[in-house]
Structure 1
Amino acid sequence: MKTLKPLRLLPLVAMASFGLLFTACNGDKTKTAEKADTTAADTAANLTLPAGFTAAVIAHDLGSVRHIAISPQGGIYVKHKSAGGNAGILYLTEANGAAEVKKSFGTFDGTGIYLKNGYLYASSDEEVYRFKLNANNEVENPDAPEKIVTGLLARHQHEAKAILLDDAGNLYVNIGAYSNSCQVKDRTKESPGQQGCPILDSAAGIWQFKADKLNQTYKDGVRYATGLRNVVGMDWNKTRNQLFVMQHGRDQLHDNWPALYTEKQSSILPAECMFAMNKGDNAGWPYVYYDQEQKKKIVMPEYGGDGKKEGDSKFIDPAAAFPGHLAPNGLLFYTGSQFPEKYKNGAFIAFHGSWNRAPEPQAGYFVVFQPLKDGKADGPMEVFADGFSGSAENTAKGAATHRPCGLAQGPDGSLYVTDDVKGTIYKISYKK
């Protein structure tokens, strides 16, 4: 693959967003666009950013790149969701405003990738591997990864395995529920919930393993937290020394329970939630969901709820709640010093975008900033980077040109964003 030319920024019309649902970051927004050369014109996307920020496309046409990890030297690792058994991981280096692929390796598809303690960790839908790194944080032997975890469930619904590591030698793996709401007949009108929800035994939660032990299976791990339908974005909050996750909320309240929920209610409920997790916590799926309008945990209709009955207090409350169906795929706590002080230790979230908000317009396809205080939301979320979809019309009909997915912080404090539609990597920087 040839090195990409640096792309210049030009002001263009920004796409419309959620209107009154969110506040604008810093009050004013600047509009930036990446002007591609004529052979890659379709990769250009208009981004609207707070004043003082600029964005550059540093790579494109990389395929279905999902999560991203950046070394202290600035080396970029990205994971392919669907590489067809070839080049599941790309390694790029950046120079003069463009990133070039230097290596492609790994024969497994998947989502997760993480750098820690001299290893690159990467996941398939059933396993977690690691590759030894040299002193420059480059993979030493790409053809010989060590298998850390094997035999995880992947049943063609929420099968992607997000991963991260803490500072105590632990590996955390999301195992998503292979169900919408644990019905006897999945996604079927008025089918009741399964008693005891057997899915929870091996999915719908976060499992903890040892980061340095080979060939672990379920019996070697610990179900660290449960009641999470599916988590794609998660990060370790260093100020609290705690795991934070973004849950994808359930679908089809009206389709499955038309006597209880209108189409309008189903289009905006339930909330997509950020949870701060401690060992043993239960976020409540499939028994409750969080209603961001009522600001309450509500009993799921599959388990006797009517849209108003409040859920058991044993289930934890979210740290922050967001509009429904936006699909939060990336979470990053910003610890750099390049951005203004307001962003320090706050959360950036990449929303992949909705498919089931009808009759309301589809929405999302942006990166937001969530201010936090004491591990909880400190005010509403702010749309930080918008315009990935290409136009307001694209957003409304759910036909986004680009969809934000993975987030990473560079050694200089820049924010990197992946797009898994066109295979684009964006670099967002700030200058006073």
Structure 2
Amino acid sequence: MFLDFAPWPLSWDEVDPARHPFDAASAAETVRGLGPARRVTRSAEICDAGALWADAMSHALVERYGRWAAGWRWSHDEGDFDGGPVGGWCCPRHSITGPKETLDRVAAALCEWRAWLESLAGWFERYPLEPSAVEEQRILWERAARNLILQVVDRTGCGSGWHRHCRQVLTWFLARWGVPDEPAEALVEEAVGGRFGSWTGPGPVLVDDVAERLARSLRPGGFGRPEGPVTDHLERWLALRGAVPWEAGADGPAPAARDGAAEDVRAFDAAIDPARAEGLLAALESARADAARGAVLDFALLAGWQRHVLGTVQPPPFRTAPAFAKGGRERYGLRPGIRARLDACLAESAPGAGRPLALSVRAARACLDVCFFHPFDDGNARAAFLALVFVLAREDAAPGTATPLRRVSWHADAPQDAVALARCVTVAIGHPRKD
């Protein structure tokens, strides 16, 4: 799992400046024209609302420029995301002040992040390497790795978590010259071997050893794109769904001091677009009304809510093509009877249906079912959240907070992610965790 706007999972394809045009001169004007610019959080509200506003700004920037823009908040040391190369933004508490100053900081941080990516691209091009000629170029690979480590050391200041970005930059370099992402990540992890630490700069001997290990680990011609059938992550989810080692979870309602779902929509979605928030609030009200009357959760019910979410006259149909998520990292195929299979899975969210599971577990599983069946052409994350709220509301429970339920991405083939989401639901509905 990872936070939706975290920069850690970004691949080189997603950040390569050659693939993503950007005009720094117009960045400030563009930022001021985005939805969140109309609703800059007041300083007195910074604690929770500031984080939601920053998430909304990330969403708007990614929509405008592409996934690479998520790195604008990757600040030095212990900011929104630890150990990054950006000095112009720290965190909502310290970086959100008056509207003009705040928006200027956002634009400056975005430009700073982009300039860093462009400088990395320049460094990569200084070492035009060919994986098939590794033996002849091994010294160049080693020199490139050493220089890139030192560049990251200098840029981040070796604060909290700096080594994560260092590993990422080395992976990007390998990817730039033809090594696929997964093998590149594995080679870098093996070369570093957990020897970089927060708040500590690596000495020359360690830098040289990591660079040498990385260069020596490369093999000529061994990094072609994998052949074989394309992975269907829906099939992976269905294969592990019944075997997830669910924990006890929580049953029954707990007193909710606040309506976390509606509060989140009013802070996050309204900052992006008031119409988006209005539609999601209408869908939320409809979902809770359906829960109160004891409706059965199925695709038809989801589609009725989705009409509000997307602002369509008619409920949207089930998708007719494979779907993609997480920047294309997950693919959800089409299979015969896919809608009926989704309905069968969602039916198991009711109490007493199928395997006996706690309410928080059933709500989490229904949310993941919608995520990985990905039934609509748009708005699936919101549909999944509505399904979760519905399952809770049907048994008189409600989330007191929604941030960990809405802005974290869960992987279809990771049972630990499913368990983690169920834990988040347990806490969100007011029950203490049982560790």
Same fold flag (TM > 0.5): no
Q: TM-score, normalised by structure 2?
A: 0.26
Task: Please identify which structure carries the higher helix content.
Answer: 2
Larger radius of gyration: 2
Q: TM-score, normalised by structure 1?
A: 0.26
Task: Please identify which structure carries the higher strand content.
Answer: 1
